[in-house]
Structure 1
Amino acid sequence: MAWGRELFLDVAASASALLRDPAVAASWEADSALAHFRVSGLAGHLGWQITIVPVLLNESPPGGKPVSLFEHYTTQAVWIGAPLDTDLNRGIRQLGDGAAVDGPTALADRVDSAIRDLSGRLATEPPGRLVSLASMVLTLDDFLATRILEIAVHSDDLAVSVDVPTPALPAPATDAVLALLTRLAAHRHGPTAVLRAFSRAERAPTTITAI
């Protein structure tokens, strides 16, 4: 899978353009396509995937051994499959609401500011640079991969919520996200279920949701 720092910046720019779409501001207080999320909170959650990166880079690198990208999703991402009314998911929604509290323009401005900062900064960070979020230690590059996946998924959520086309991501990002989701779906449901979902409509399982 071809992730990369420049790819993250390209994907982040796509999210910024979506956040500035007039349809987002027009639907700001409406319910989103995700349960318990208004459009504003979902937009805030999308923007947070970008603005959190410089915040973590401003912190001292954590100690400890990082987990791999695959291990992160299979052993640490406890939100996968968690009920929507858990403290964890309520906290995620509250973060999104907090990021959106000043309105759509302010949110988009913060996202653009983060992208400008990262455009020069990411290239200066050494290979193997570690970051930590909620006690999870990842390499910077693996963390950016998680943000690319989050941006891809939540850009679709937000676009559907405000009735605009889902942004087309750079082909390398789409390829990398789909490859990771396929691997995670096979881990969660078994490779046979994924094989059937992709190739045999008459034997396809009800779901192969990866996350």
Structure 2
Amino acid sequence: MNLKDAYLDTAAQAVTLLGAPEVAASWAKSSALAEMTVGGLAGHLAYQVFSVTSALQEPISKEAPIPLLEHYARAAWIDAPLDGEVNSGIRANGEDIASEGPQALLERARATLAEQKAALPPVRGDRVVFMPQTGWALSLDDFLVTRMMELAVHMDDLAVSVGIAAPELSATAFDPVLTLLAGLAARRHGQAALLRALARVERAPAAINAL
């Protein structure tokens, strides 16, 4: 299984979660994320799938792709305040996507995934994907890793919000997500802190968050 297959598998898990009756039943309730409803969180989760179609529709970029960790070093939402413009915009976008209701969102996500299953496999992993919302480019493979990380984190958020078990990622999807999060955690806290958190609980720091 390559990264494209791993992404499609993870996206399918997200779409299945969007169809859980517990999600629809809690749509207007508060989620596990501050100031976000379950519906808004579901919309944000679905957006991760929709964004892949948007990326594939962009003309092939002549921009040089930046490294994956550099993408997060530049990201405006990293460490942005909850009530800041960036996070407020993310929440508003999720709520806007959710405004069509749980069934309509589920059907849209299913249709999008079906289109991607046909469109994504032939595309080269080194294709350069320009992201207008950021102003820089990534390789398709790196972009898909960002989507898998978002899907993994927000599937857990959504599952916790409605009291069901979070999906287990395939090893092919989990490995690059874990590598990315470990790299971000090491950059934030230092290598020693990460090593101690994983191997020396008696010396582990209080926090080892990646984001």
Same fold by TM-score, threshold 0.5 exceeded?
A: yes
Tell me the equivalent position of 1:40. Answer: 39
Q: By how many angstroms is 1:77 displaced?
A: 1.7
Q: By how many angstroms is 1:7 displaced?
A: 0.6
TM-score, structure 1 as length reference: 0.94
Question: Number of residues paired by the alignment?
Answer: 209
**How far apart are the structure 2 equivalents of 1:10 and 1:205?**
34
143-152 or 193-202: which moved more? 193-202
Tell me the equivalent position of 2:92. Answer: 94
Question: Per-residue CA shift, 1:4-31, capped at 9, x if unaligned?
Answer: 1011000000000100000000000000
Tell me the equivalent position of 2:165. Answer: 165
11-20 or 128-137: which moved more? 128-137
150-159 or 75-84: which moved more? 75-84
Q: By how many angstroms is 1:90 displaced?
A: 0.7
Tell me the equivalent position of 1:144. Answer: 144
**How far apart are the structure 2 equivalents of 1:44 and 1:157?**
12
TM-score, structure 2 as length reference: 0.94
- Identity within the alignment, %: 47
161-170 or 194-203: which moved more? 194-203
3-state DSSP of counterpart to 2:121: helix
- Whether contact under 8 Å (1:76, 1:136) holds in the other structure is no
The verdict on how the C-alpha distance between 1:3 and 1:70 changes in structure 2, with shifts beyond 3 A counting, is: farther
- Whether contact under 8 Å (1:3, 1:145) holds in the other structure is no
Which of structure 1's runs of 4+ aligned residues deviate more than 3 A? none
3-state DSSP of counterpart to 2:41: helix
Q: By how many angstroms is 1:132 displaced?
A: 2.1
**How far apart are the structure 1 equivalents of 2:62 and 2:104?**
34
Task: Map 1:50-129 to 2 at 5 A.
Answer: 50-73=49-72, 75-129=73-127
122-131 or 44-53: which moved more? 122-131
The verdict on how the C-alpha distance between 1:186 and 1:3 changes in structure 2, with shifts beyond 3 A counting, is: farther
- Whether contact under 8 Å (1:7, 1:173) holds in the other structure is yes
Q: By how many angstroms is 1:175 displaced?
A: 2.1
**2:12 equivalent to 1:9:** no
3-state DSSP of counterpart to 2:137: strand
Residue type of the alignment partner of 1:129? R
Q: Which runs of 5+ in 2 are unaligned?
A: none
**How far apart are the structure 2 equivalents of 1:193 and 1:180?**
16
- Whether contact under 8 Å (2:48, 2:147) holds in the other structure is yes
Residue type of the alignment partner of 1:178? L
**2:29 equivalent to 1:22:** no
Q: Which runs of 5+ in 1 are unaligned?
A: none
**How far apart are the structure 2 equivalents of 1:105 and 1:136?**
34
Residue type of the alignment partner of 1:185? A
- Whether contact under 8 Å (2:56, 2:129) holds in the other structure is yes
- Whether contact under 8 Å (2:3, 2:173) holds in the other structure is no
149-158 or 200-209: which moved more? 200-209
3-state DSSP of counterpart to 2:6: helix
**How far apart are the structure 1 equivalents of 2:154 and 2:136?**
21
**How far apart are the structure 1 equivalents of 2:168 and 2:161?**
16
**How far apart are the structure 1 equivalents of 2:95 and 2:2?**
29
**How far apart are the structure 2 equivalents of 1:178 and 1:33?**
22
Q: By how many angstroms is 1:3 displaced?
A: 5.9
Q: By how many angstroms is 1:202 displaced?
A: 2.3
